[in-house]
Amino acid sequence: MVSIPLLLMGCGGVGRQLLHHVISCRPLHSQQGVRLRVVGVCDSKSMVAIPDVLTSEFRDDFLLQLCKIKSNGSSLLDLDNIGECEVYSGEEIGRKVIDVAAALRDSSGLALVDCSASSETIGLLSQVVNLEGCVVLANKKPLTSSLENYDKLVSQPRRIRHESTVGAGLPVISTINRMLSSGDPIIRIIGSLSGTLGYVMSEVESGRPFSQVVSAAKTLGFTEPDPRDDLSGMDVARKALILARLLGHRLELDSIKVESLYPLEMGPGKMSLEDFLAKGLPSLDEDIQKRIKNASSNGNVLHYVCLIEESRCEVGLQEVAKDSALGRLKGSDNVLEIYSRCYSKQPLVIQGAGAGNDTTAAGVLADILDVQDLFRHSTSGA
Amino acid sequence: MVSIPLLLMGCGGVGRQLLHHVISCRPLHSQQGVRLRVVGVCDSKSMVAIPDVLTSEFRDDFLLQLCKIKSNGSSLLDLDNIGECEVYSGEEIGRKVIDVAAALRDSSGLALVDCSASSETIGLLSQVVNLEGCVVLANKKPLTSSLENYDKLVSQPRRIRHESTVGAGLPVISTINRMLSSGDPIIRIIGSLSGTLGYVMSEVESGRPFSQVVSAAKTLGFTEPDPRDDLSGMDVARKALILARLLGHRLELDSIKVESLYPLEMGPGKMSLEDFLAKGLPSLDEDIQKRIKNASSNGNVLHYVCLIEESRCEVGLQEVAKDSALGRLKGSDNVLEIYSRCYSKQPLVIQGAGAGNDTTAAGVLADILDVQDLFRHSTSGA
């Protein structure tokens, strides 16, 4: 039996779903000879940890109660039987995480799982890798920080997994890593990596005005509370940067060419959300309609894509061939076309749901199982 | 540096391409801290091995000469500087493979790579797994033997990889394994897993008679020398069985429902290839044309698919929706649609070239790199 001590950062939808998956997969993982042992959980303010991280773990009923409390928006400190575990807050959290990783270094190592949306976890993640632990990320921020930080984080490539940072659980990162390790050079990646923008563009393509589609998508909960967070393209840019760096491009986030679907003067600092929805958005309809017509007259469709090719790394509206996998995309699916030596005429295509807590958490869990061989040598004591 | 001792069975197109990839990837793998050390190579009759498998390896120029000789159809015994290495033949080969695996057991373990098309390697593969080695297969036969043999072969799931047995280098097996390990139950798999039959059916769909398409495909080298080897569906059936067993179905090859595209009385034992091409094939045109029209009137297209759903595992012609990834398939690409809890409304789709020595060998090499963590603890002596 391989025992993987797991410390989770982030109790949002993905983190909680991950705990549910871990619990419901216990019989399956037991069959596979793996035991996931949750030894600590943090939210943005507090951390609870089991006192003896070497041999003990949280009980499943405690984890379920934790999920319940967090989904109600309460603090970890509101847990009933918190007396059983140690509680940390503020700067103590980071110190404790490192203590746990150091304590586990000589036995099994720690799996630190980042399901937060924080840009401040990167130091901890790098330190855990240095302490021979593994890190698994759904959080894009650490991978899209400065190159200097990035290099530290990926200094031991076998000890980091981050499938769910691009396309949720879709096998994007794992596939690219497979291609790279087999010496199949990737020439071009083009894809639609935002379910929201994919949905918006395919609805606009079918004739509805941009402003109506965005407003309706907001009402349906398909966009962020302020849809400009989607329309800015910055989330797609982070995904593009993660892919580009994986391919070896030495890029920073601000060196990516990003097309925002609204002009600067309608930005969150300059225009209220109400004004943007009521006046800003409708003023954009005509231009987008024109570009769609233009694409159509070229036999193409207009999609919001991420494109990585040679030294180019761009995010924005592009015309794509109608009969390509990308051109045929409808709805909120993500799609990625990868061209390489092996896939030169026709690309390797990966398509499917690229968002959702269930799928994202499943991707994180698959990553955790994927690093199990690095924990194997520690089984003698289990 | 991780050193992976590699023993290759099979010097056909895929095996030779693998050796070329291994050599051309040396700088890349060195950057990644991995050294692939080829310690032995077998064809169907002979085996050459380096005398000291613990520390030594074949030189790249020797491997290149070996590839050259095998591509000319010569024997391994024709190698120039064969004096440097040990030579085995017949039953000695199996004994030597086990000796090598046993010798390496306590240091690093052996990676035994099966790029042959033999049904007789299964015993060796299972024994190497038992000796704490890893096995990587492009060969479908060992995985489609009896369930009893299969169970032995996969008894240590982390020690076996076989991506290239289905869809060549396409990330089919690795993706299904990821989904399974994250507890995302797979409900339905449907796909086109024969480039040849995919090409034939999409050409027939576009109006050309079946017999003409098959004959032209044979001339172009798209089919086996006797195209009935493709048209029987048995190659697809083996792939279906591999996928079904991965999902936990307890099936034997002969329990899969397989539709052959020619009737029994036109089989290789009963009709010569010439007669089949001249008289047999044309007599099949009308029926297939009728079924295509029928599908079309239902808004569907006819494809030769593999379908796994609940207890069903079938291979044959099926109508599929025109606007699905499978329905839109043209040419020789493979495509797989996977439905699961996470991908329930829209499937996870993987599409791309599913054949070719380059792609198949790249899949094998990615598998070898994927088991590297099982070799890591052996680096102290390297």
In chain B, which among 153-182 make CB contacts under 8 A with chain A? 157-158, 163, 169-171, 174-175, 178-179, 181-182
CB contact under 8 A, B365 and A182: yes
Binding-site residues of B, in ranges, read: 10-15, 140, 224
- Which residues of A are less than 8 Å from B169 in CB distance? 178-179, 182, 184, 342
Binding-site residues of B for NADPH, in ranges, read: 140
* Dihedral sign for Cα atoms in the order B285, B282, B330, B168: positive
- Give CA–CA dist B291/A346, Å, rounded: 29
Rounded alpha-carbon distances, angstroms, from residue B309 to A245, A311, A370: 39, 44, 26
- Give CA–CA dist B352/B54, Å, rounded: 39
With 80 as the cut, is the pLDDT of residue B329 above it?
yes
Tell me what pLDDT residue B382 has. Answer: 36
Rounded alpha-carbon distances, angstroms, from residue B375 to A143, A380, B107, B112: 28, 18, 9, 13
CB contact under 8 A, A28 and B370: no
Size of interface A-B (CB pairs under 8 A): 149
Residue B123, token pair as written in the block:
């015993």
Instruction: Going residue by residue through chain A, which has 382 residues, state the pLDDT in tens, using 9 for 90 and above.
Output: 899 999 999 999 999 999 999 999 999 999 999 999 999 999 999 999 999 999 999 999 999 999 999 999 999 988 887 877 899 999 999 999 999 999 999 888 999 999 999 999 999 999 999 999 999 999 999 999 999 999 999 999 999 999 999 999 999 999 999 999 999 999 999 999 999 999 999 999 999 999 999 999 999 888 999 999 999 999 999 999 999 999 999 999 999 999 999 999 999 999 999 999 999 999 999 999 999 999 999 999 999 999 999 889 999 999 999 999 999 998 899 999 999 999 999 999 999 999 999 999 999 999 999 999 999 654 444 3
Instruction: Tell me if chain A has a CB within 8 Å of the CB of B208.
Output: no
Residue range B255-275: average pLDDT? 96
Tell me what pLDDT residue B5 has. Answer: 97
Instruction: Tell me if chain B has a CB within 8 Å of the CB of A109.
Output: no
CB contact under 8 A, B174 and A179: no
Q: Closest Cα of chain B to A357: distance in Å?
A: 10
A97 neighbors A125 (Cβ within 8 angstroms): no
Cα atoms in the Cβ-side hemisphere of radius 13 Å centred on B15: 27
CB contact under 8 A, B358 and A342: yes
- Give CA–CA dist B206/B331, Å, rounded: 11
pTM passes above 0.90: yes
Q: Which residue of A has its CA nearest to B343?
A: A353
Residue range B256-273: average pLDDT? 97
Q: Closest Cα of chain A to B179: distance in Å?
A: 7
Q: Which residue reads 């409304």 in tokens?
A: B345
* CB atoms near residue B145 (< 10 Å): 19
Task: Measure the N-to-C terminal CA separation of chain A; round to a whole number of Å.
Answer: 7
Least CB–CB distance from A351: residue in B29, B178, B349: B349
Instruction: Tell me if chain B has a CB within 8 Å of the CB of A257.
Output: no
CA A222, A224, A226 angle in degrees (round to 5)?
Answer: 125
Q: Which of B152, B218, B239, B279 is catalytic?
A: B239
With 60 as the cut, is the pLDDT of residue B17 above it?
yes
With 70 as the cut, is the pLDDT of residue B379 above it?
no
Least CB–CB distance from A366: residue in B181, B333, B362: B181
In chain B, which among 53-92 make CB contacts under 8 A with chain A? none
SS3 assignment, position A96: helix
Phi, psi of B180 (to 5 degrees): -65, -40
CA B186, B187, B193 angle in degrees (round to 5)?
Answer: 80
Q: Which residue of A has its CA nearest to B24?
A: A183
The complex's ipTM works out to: 0.96
With 60 as the cut, is the pLDDT of residue B58 above it?
yes
- Give CA–CA dist B157/A29, Å, rounded: 12
Tell me what pLDDT residue B377 has. Answer: 53
Q: Closest Cα of chain B to A25: distance in Å?
A: 6
Higher per-residue confidence, B84 vs B166: B166
CB contact under 8 A, A351 and B376: no
Instruction: Tell me if chain A has a CB within 8 Å of the CB of B183.
Output: yes
Tell me what pLDDT residue A82 has. Answer: 80
Tell me what pLDDT residue B97 has. Answer: 97
B225 neighbors B198 (Cβ within 8 angstroms): no
Q: Which residue of A has its CA nearest to B363?
A: A182
Give the percent of chain B with pLDDT over 90: 93
- Catalytic residue status for B330: no
Name the β-bridge partners of A305.
Answer: A316
Name the β-bridge partners of A339.
Answer: A188
Tell me what pLDDT residue A108 has. Answer: 86
* B22-33: pLDDT as tens digits: 999 999 999 999
Least CB–CB distance from B183: residue in A25, A174, A342: A25
Q: Which residue of B has its CA nearest to A339?
A: B352
Would the annotation count A224 as a binding residue?
yes
Would the annotation count A11 as a binding residue?
yes
CB contact under 8 A, A182 and B358: no
CB contact under 8 A, B25 and A182: yes
* B227-257: pLDDT as tens digits: 999 999 999 999 999 999 999 999 999 999 9
Instruction: Tell me if chain B has a CB within 8 Å of the CB of A373.
Output: yes
pLDDT band at B376 (very low <50, low <70, confident <90, very high): low
- Which residues of B are less than 8 Å from A351 in CB distance? 325, 348-349, 351
Least CB–CB distance from A343: residue in B353, B365, B369: B353
Residue B49, token pair as written in the block:
């091995």
Residue B344, token pair as written in the block:
């329930």
HEC sequence for chain A: CEEEEEEEECCCHHHHHHHHHHHHCHHHHHHCCEEEEEEEEECCCEEEECCCCCCCCCCHHHHHHHHHHHHCCCCHHHCCCHHHCEEEECHHHHHHHHHHHHHHHCCCCCEEEECCCCCCCHHHHHHHHHCCCEEEECCCHHHHCCHHHHHHHCCCHHHEECHHHCCCCCCHHHHHHHHHHCCCCEEEEEEECCHHHHHHHHHHHCCCCHHHHHHHHHHCCCCCCCCHHHHCCHHHHHHHHHHHHHCCCCCCHHHCEECCCCCHHHCCCCCCHHHHHHHHHHHHHHHHHHHHHHHHHCCEEEEEEEEEECCEEEEEEEEEECCCCCCCCCCCEEEEEEEECCCCCCCEEEEEECCCHHHHHHHHHHHHHHCHHHCHHHHHHC
Least CB–CB distance from B178: residue in A346, A366, A377: A366
Q: Which of A141, A239, A270, A322 is catalytic?
A: A239
B342 neighbors A358 (Cβ within 8 angstroms): yes
- Which residues of A are less than 8 Å from B362 in CB distance? 179, 182-184, 342
CB contact under 8 A, A169 and B182: yes
With 90 as the cut, is the pLDDT of residue B378 above it?
no
